[in-house]
Amino acid sequence: MMALGFAIARSTNIDAHLHVQGMLAELIQHAEFVRSCLRASEADAAPNPASGLMTPADMPLWTVRMMFPKMFIRACEIIQTLGAGGLVAVPSFAEFGGPAAADVEAYAQSVNADAPSRVKLFRLAFDAAVSSFSGRQQLYERYYSGDPVRLAGALYALYDKDAPIARIHAMLDGIEARSRR
């Protein structure tokens, strides 16, 4: 989705605008977040006590598992925004061989893409972010691991909360001790 966003923005020259760069930066953040979590899971891998097999750290993977559905839905929204009306009116590639070929050639081009290139790109964007396939994919991402509310409860139950709470109390105690001096 990040690469698709880059390609759409460049083909229409909208990547020069700050608000578009902001949306593209969101896609970069999504990609780098997932990449970082996968890397952290590998770097923090440890032998499984039961099997002795090297096992990736689970908390970074849980984090991706919980965040990816939201990121995918947002990525679709960004692609829809970047493609705008071009996604609504994108012709079929078959139109280049039909009676309206000259019109498609003239009106489907963009500043940085000829008509065939732009049609292929925007058909891909439509399939990825607008079509019924995209809708099914969004539902799949949301529910493939199970009920998101139950998963959030499971993540909360698994997470070590004692150490962060202890840090807060230690900080507050330190502030109080310094203020008494």
| CA dist list (Å): 82 to 3, 16, 76 | 13, 12, 10
Per-residue pLDDT of 154-175, as tens digits, reads 999 999 999 999 999 999 999 9
Cα dihedral 109, 112, 114, 120, rounded to 10, equals -80
Q: How far apart are CA 117 and CA 119, in angstroms?
A: 6
Which residues, including other chains, have CB under 8 Å from residue 170's CB and lie 6 or more apart?
A: none
Please count the residues of the chain.
181
Which residues, including other chains, have CB under 8 Å from residue 104's CB and lie 6 or more apart?
A: 91, 95, 96, 115, 119
Q: What is the model's pTM?
A: 0.88
Domain ranges across the chain: 2-145
- Grouping H, G, I as helix, E, B as strand and the rest as coil, residue 52 is coil
Confidence of residue 53 (pLDDT cuts 50, 70, 90): very high
Strand partners, 46: 55
Average pLDDT value for residue range 64-71:
95
pLDDT, position 146:
87
Assigned superfamily of 2-145: Butyryl-CoA Dehydrogenase, subunit A, domain 3 (1.20.140.10)
How many beta carbons lie within 10 A of that of residue 124, not counting itself? 15
| Percentage, residues of the chain above pLDDT 90 | 92
Confidence of residue 93 (pLDDT cuts 50, 70, 90): confident
Residues of 43-77 as b/e, b for ≥16 C-beta within 10 angstroms?
A: eeeeeeeeeeeeeeeeebebbbbeebbebbbbbbe
